[in-house]
């Protein structure tokens, strides 16, 4: 699927822990395109706990490579390569669904709002005052085309990650719409420079944010308290200092972007004893790179204009506002004020995210300068003019400009 040299070759072994492989094998799903996530999908639906997974883990007769391939492609939606086909169209009147994987402190809250408020649609989302929810229905029937915080709510858990979403979205939409449908899924996400993102999360937690509602669901169960021990006592971590924040080994702020984009079933979920740390890191990073590259779309906070144009051309949708670039944020200033030892420690804690972000940046620029993207631009007869005037839809002028950076550090909510 992916030809990037720094992603593992598609058939190269990514070794999940034996229990994970055995669970899929014993379920009799080893050789189809659903693999472990079909098993996980079943566990989510039935609500069965970890005991069945442990029982299933006793058998290990399986073609490991087959499972590894199946795990990776399970329920992951259409890829960027798919949407670049000349005949592709995001079919809002059919069964296409855009799934927004919202990673904390990447600008996702603002981006999510503008997905529901400022896209130029035949049937605009209906947003009610005093509510954090909008109805984003298809032009001719009341079914969701967008799965996100502001359209469907946190149906798969607060800030659900790739592992949670791919095992849950289909089930939740079936329940919500009262029928089973064969849908095409298009996963989208945003990434941010890791050190600035980490500092932004630190400041957010220091003001009282907790994200206690996150489920951390994987292979049919939530992470246990032993796997994710709390970093603090009491209701929050108010006024925590940076050294204490960085010292907690179970703090999910470290390498958050890699963890949330990886298939955690490959590394034993949140059980860090399932494999050596260096092997866990290697597998998780390779999985995150592969999943990111296979997504229909991703954007980078630091390259908003490019990100906006790629989104609009990918889905043939237009924003009524420009994505403004602000190079100086509160968190960026905070990074400059770090002691050398603090900066070194934070870089070590986020080493996987730093490598993932470098990969994402390289990939975005490859796409932007690739022959396939040139095809995108070639389809647009007014490319130069439109690129210079992104967001300027004449009849929607007056819509508040989208400022991706300036507000994301200041709004406090436990579910951001």
CA atoms of 267 and 258, how far apart (whole Å): 13
Residues 244 and 202 sit within 8 Å (Cβ to Cβ):
no
| CA atoms within 13 A of residue 358's CA, in its CB half-sphere | 9
CA atoms of 310 and 187, how far apart (whole Å): 14
Catalytic one of 159, 204, 216, 416: 159
Residues 171-191 as b/e (b if ≥16 CB within 10 A, e otherwise) read: bbbeeeeeeeeebebbbbbbb
Tokens of 358: 């470098």
- The dihedrals phi and psi of 265, each to the nearest 5 degrees, come to -60, -25
Q: Which class for 344: exposed (0-12), middle (13-18), buried (19 or more C-beta within 10 A)?
A: exposed
Residues 19 and 53 sit within 8 Å (Cβ to Cβ):
yes
Strands 137-138 vs 297-300: parallel, antiparallel or unpaired: unpaired
Q: Where is 65: in which H helix or E strand?
A: helix 64-73
CA atoms of 127 and 134, how far apart (whole Å): 4
Q: Please say if 416 is a catalytic residue.
A: no
Strands 184-191 vs 96-101: parallel, antiparallel or unpaired: parallel
The residues carrying an active-site annotation are 159
């Amino acid at each position: 699927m992916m030809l990037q040299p720094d992603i593992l070759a598609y058939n190269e072994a990514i070794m999940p822990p034996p229990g994970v492989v055995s669970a899929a094998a014993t379920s009799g799903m080893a050789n189809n395109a659903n693999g472990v996530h079909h098993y996980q999908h079943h566990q989510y639906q039935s609500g069965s706990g970890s005991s069945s997974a442990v029982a299933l883990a006793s058998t290990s007769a399986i073609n490991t490579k087959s499972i590894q391939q199946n795990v990776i492609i399970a329920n992951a939606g259409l890829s960027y390569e798919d949407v670049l086909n000349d005949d592709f169209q995001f079919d809002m009147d059919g069964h296409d669904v855009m799934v927004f994987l919202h990673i904390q402190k990447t600008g996702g809250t603002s981006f999510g709002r503008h997905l529901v408020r400022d896209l130029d649609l035949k049937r605009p989302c209906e947003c009610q005052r005093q509510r954090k929810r909008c109805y984003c229905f298809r032009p001719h029937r009341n079914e969701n085309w967008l799965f996100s915080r502001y359209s469907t709510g946190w149906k798969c858990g607060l800030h659900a990650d790739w592992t949670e979403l791919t095992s849950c979205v289909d089930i939740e939409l079936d329940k919500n719409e009262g029928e089973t449908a064969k849908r095409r899924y298009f996963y989208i996400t945003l990434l941010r420079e890791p050190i600035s993102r980490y500092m932004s999360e630190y400041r957010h937690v220091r003001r009282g944010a907790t994200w206690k509602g996150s489920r951390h669901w994987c292979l049919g169960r939530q992470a246990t308290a032993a796997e994710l021990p709390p970093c603090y006592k009491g209701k929050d971590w108010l006024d925590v200092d940076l050294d204490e924040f960085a010292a907690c080994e179970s703090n999910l702020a470290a390498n958050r972007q890699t963890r949330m984009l990886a298939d955690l079933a490959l590394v034993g979920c949140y059980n860090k004893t399932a494999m050596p740390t260096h092997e866990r890191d290697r597998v998780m990073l390779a999985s995150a790179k592969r999943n990111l590259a296979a997504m229909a779309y991703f954007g980078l906070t630091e390259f908003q204009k490019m990100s906006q144009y790629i989104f609009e051309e990918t889905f043939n949708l237009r924003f009524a506002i420009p994505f403004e670039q602000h190079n100086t944020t509160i968190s960026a200033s905070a990074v400059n004020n770090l002691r050398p030892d603090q900066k070194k420690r934070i870089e070590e804690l986020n080493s996987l995210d730093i490598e993932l972000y470098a990969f994402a940046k390289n990939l975005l620029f490859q796409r932007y300068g690739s022959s396939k993207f040139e095809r995108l631009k070639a389809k647009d007869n007014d490319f130069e003019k439109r690129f210079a005037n992104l967001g300027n839809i004449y009849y929607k002028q007056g819509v508040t400009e989208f400022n991706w950076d300036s507000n994301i550090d200041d709004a406090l909510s436990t579910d951001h």
